[in-house]
Structure 1
């Protein structure tokens, strides 16, 4: 969950909704940035694969010590069971999705000190070597595909996490190609500006994501939080992005 405090209670964006926003971003990017056309559908599908099976309502797994909804950034340990479940599920859908999911797990967990996490990453890396050979893929093109997905995920997270709420500095997002940075800034109007402008199909785009609000601040167990979230009545956040430039240049 992506949790943000509001005047009364909390705003909650589930990771599956964030993943859908990331997919929407990907659909609006220039397909030329995706080097392996054959796996375009699988690539877009893989954007949401790493967020499968969330959340699980059990005792107090989704609450802080004080009883507030637990933001994913507050979790201290890798949910290895969830990661393994995602990896297993991907194998039954598309071997290319396995490549993308593995790349994402490598990014997220490469510095984790847990031995079981490192064994999991090593196993996935070995599996990916077999897949790349079997599909006769170019490793650089596979890496480029992941950078496309990673950009969509990073931009979606920056918007969903309200990264502009407490500071006015632009958020830096790695470009899809090269060593450049994309700067995401919020305008006084509440709209957003990307600079340099990545290769979207339009000069102005509006994206949406569904979220929920709670009626209270703290809970004794997950079930109380679950009951407080009326999943039939989501609210909607809108993000309008405007073009400012076109070529991603390295920061100096």
Structure 2
């Protein structure tokens, strides 16, 4: 979960909602950056963070009983591998292209754990071999995958900035990342409230994207079950961002 503390309460985006927002952002890119297998690539971007929220597997409350943002979660090796395999298996049922990009993404996000945890290191080696098998089946090169993946990391990071409410005020900029075509991208909010990305990589001069979230006004919860009930039964809210060159 992505959790933001607001005056009204807890603003919560699921990772699936964040993934869908990333897909919407990627879809607005100029055709220059869309590969021949674009629909499957878009599906991988949308699904890359699925299978995160599971109240039976994890406690989503802090010791104070407040919703726990994903950045505050302690990484559990068993949970990481279990979720990753579940995500990869689901992707493979749909398309080996999607599974290839998911395998590449999993290696990217967990690579810093390679030297820290033998179990994760072994799993990463398995992912490397899995990706090589996909490359052979699809007859594409590692460099081609890396080029395609840069679109995913751009859209993913851009979506996270929006969902985490990290867009700075007063025309200040926040770095998205260095990704598409090897360029470094920056995001800012103008006085009008519009979102601007520099350099501009989108097909249209202006467009808007939306994401669903929940707003919980209760300050804390006595148990994970209570929180689950409140979260699942709260009305859906929609946040909109206007992008303008």
Fold equivalence (TM over 0.5): yes
Match of 2:244?
242
Contact 2:9–2:218, Cα closer than 8 Å, also in 1: yes
Match of 1:142?
145
Count of aligned pairs between the two proteins: 240
Structure 1 residue 215 displacement after superposition: 2.3
CA displacement 1:71-103 (0-9 Å, x = unmatched): 111112053211111112222111111211112
- Within a 5 Å distance, the mapping from 1:66-215 to structure 2 comes to 66-78=64-76, 79-80=79-80, 81-112=82-113, 113-164=116-167, 169-198=172-201, 200-215=202-217
Structure 1 residue 63 displacement after superposition: 1.0
Structure 1 residue 165 displacement after superposition: 5.8
Match of 2:61?
63
Match of 1:24?
24
Provide closer, same or farther for how the CA distance between residues 220 and 60 of structure 1 changes in structure 2, counting only shifts above 3 A.
farther
In structure 2, stretches of 5+ residues that fail to align are: none
Which one of 215, 218, 233 corresponds to residue 216 of structure 1? 218
Question: How far apart, in 2, do the equivalents of 1:222 and 1:48 lie?
Answer: 27
- Aligned alpha-carbon RMSD (Å): 2.0
Contact 1:22–1:153, Cα closer than 8 Å, also in 2: yes
Question: How far apart, in 1, do the equivalents of 2:20 and 2:169 lie?
Answer: 25
Provide closer, same or farther for how the CA distance between residues 156 and 210 of structure 1 changes in structure 2, counting only shifts above 3 A.
same
Provide closer, same or farther for how the CA distance between residues 187 and 168 of structure 1 changes in structure 2, counting only shifts above 3 A.
closer
Contact 1:60–1:221, Cα closer than 8 Å, also in 2: no
Match of 1:247?
none
- SS of 1:213 mapped into structure 2: strand
Question: How far apart, in 1, do the equivalents of 2:28 and 2:169 lie?
Answer: 29
Output the TM-score relative to the length of structure 2.
0.90
Structure 1 residue 60 displacement after superposition: 6.0
Richer in helix (by share): 2
Question: How far apart, in 2, do the equivalents of 1:70 and 1:187 lie?
Answer: 31
Bigger mean CA offset, 155-164 vs 168-177 = 168-177
Structure 1 residue 146 displacement after superposition: 0.7
CA displacement 1:106-151 (0-9 Å, x = unmatched): 1211001222222111101101111111221122111111111111
Provide closer, same or farther for how the CA distance between residues 187 and 120 of structure 1 changes in structure 2, counting only shifts above 3 A.
same
